[in-house]
Amino acid sequence: MTRRARWTTVVVVVVVAALGLLTVGQGWIPDARTGVAASAPATAEAPAGGSASAPADDPVRALFDEHRSGVEVQGTGTVSRILPDDLDGSRHQKFLLTTPSGVSILIAHNIDLAPRLDGLAKGDRVDFLGDYEWSDKGGTVHWTHRDPSGQHQAGWLRWNGRTFS
């Protein structure tokens, strides 16, 4: 390789690396889940001693990335949106949580089998144990309650110092 070719390679690598850092830092790269570029860098509050994107800090991230379903998962998130209850068939309280790594999940909590989280609000932290079902929007967690027939492990939601199951 000639001296000029090496110099050109070095310049290209430096420019590409600098652009990559700039675009990631500015949120100009489209979000892998939505395809939409963020107007500002996404931030997530990581648990103490961990990275916001590490699967150990957010087990939902690994399930989402691997397109897995029917997996029991325990995690945490911040309420990003309260949705109307689903009153068709078994009644479900529905809300969206954003996990520490930024995955948005729908919580479908059966309020015929478990108490409703009355007073739940945007910004509240909710811990959960339930079954994860993958979707391109982030996924759904259900079975956040006891199983009256005893055939399924009981799930739960923990909010405001109380456990709902």
110 phi/psi in degrees, rounded to 5 = -70, 110
- Give pLDDT, residue 118: 97
Which pLDDT does position 134 carry in this prediction? 97
Domain that holds residue 11: 1-42
Instruction: Confirm whether 52 is domain-assigned.
Output: no
Is 75 among the domain residues?
Answer: yes
Residues of the chain falling short of pLDDT 70: 1-56
Does residue 158 share a domain with residue 114? yes
pLDDT at 1 (0 to 100): 53
> For position 55, what pLDDT does the model report?
52
Per-residue confidence (pLDDT) for residue 57, from 0 to 100? 82
Q: Residue 105: inside a domain, yes or no?
A: yes
Integer angstrom CA distances of residue 44 from 27, 49, 102, 103, 117 = 13, 14, 6, 10, 24
In one-letter notation, the amino acid at residue 148 is P
Judgement on whether residues 36 and 94 belong to the same structural domain of the protein: no
Provide the Cα torsion 112, 114, 107, 130; round to 10°.
-120
- Decide: 30 and 46 in contact? Cβ < 8 Å: no
> Is residue 102 domain-shared with residue 150, that is, in the same domain?
yes
The model carries a pTM of: 0.67
